[in-house]
Amino acid sequence: MRAYVFPGQGAQFPGMGKDLYEQSAAAKVLFDQANDILGFNIKNIMFEGTAEELQQTKVTQPAIFLHSIALAQALGNDFKPEMVAGHSLGEFSALVACGVLSFEDGLRLVSKRALAMQVACEAEPSAMAAVLGLADETVEELCNSIKGVVVAANYNCPGQLVISGTVEAIHAACGSAKEAGAKRALLLPVGGAFHSPLMEPARVALETAIENTLFDVSVCPVYQNVSASAVTDPETIKKNLIAQLTAPVRWTQTMQNMIADGATSFTEVGPGKVLRGLVKKVDRTMPVDSAAEQVALTE
């Protein structure tokens, strides 16, 4: 089975989506719709804006979501999801791809999510850091030993775990990680402590919007960040999506479960190539490719 995976924040780049807009009529419709839904010209920022402009919270998350869904649309009949997953923000893209959310509702939720996260980030100085070369259990123990808020946030692949918390606690945890033998422990260029208890105000703000949005039954299993297991039931999907902002992204476990459940190849749908690299860290023999490459081949 082919598994489709959708990237999260950090995959953006200047000029993203311009080729899709010019080459695919289906993608062009989505870009034009997005401007109307968001109330600003995201298309121009994506196509002509600087890296700094793309890093604005209200732009970054909708831009990656829009690029991912436009790519899926551009694949046309070649896009036949049998199992899907998305990394953090990418979970919203995955839910549109498997028919749970409409494009319009997905984009509205992503926009509200981005703005709510920005408000939460401004409420308290916070940060994230990547710890490389330690077992997950070791990093978890380190976090538990640190005074203040610091938790495991992104289980990206074996030997790569992102931690999230207050600035002071993150610095302390990075020091402890290096003492414990980590290859690296480095701060990430993000606005705050995503997937930590510090995102509780954002979770509350997004919960009402999610509860008031129509969720359909998925056309295929969707592996959600919170559980890392296959889900199709709309109410369960809602519950997991609400919990996502303050819970860790169990991406390592998601990849392992998808492979155990029959995935024979992975296609990354969206900007960048981070997820393809993470799949290879879980199973170096697994075939991986990019939807962007497939679209280019068919044009």
Catalytic annotation, residues: 88, 195
- Written as one string, the DSSP assignment of 71-103 is HHHHHGGG---SEEEESTTHHHHHHHHTTSS-H
Q: Are 43 and 21 in contact (CB under 8 A)?
A: yes
CA 240 to chain centre: 14
- 144: number of Cβ within 10 Å: 10
State the Cα torsion 266-94-44-117 to the nearest 10°. Answer: -120
Residue in 128, 130, 177 with CA at minimum distance from that of residue 149: 128
* Three-state secondary-structure class, residue 288: strand
Spatial distance between the Cα atoms of 81 and 98, rounded to a whole number of angstroms: 7
Kindly state the DSSP code that residue 162 receives in the 8-state scheme: E
Q: Are 25 and 287 in contact (CB under 8 A)?
A: no
Q: Which two tokens stand for residue 14?
A: 């200047």
Kindly state the DSSP code that residue 1 receives in the 8-state scheme: -
Spatial distance between the Cα atoms of 175 and 1, rounded to a whole number of angstroms: 42
Spatial distance between the Cα atoms of 205 and 111, rounded to a whole number of angstroms: 12
Contacts of 66 (CB under 8 A, 6+ apart): 17, 30, 31, 34, 42, 46, 107
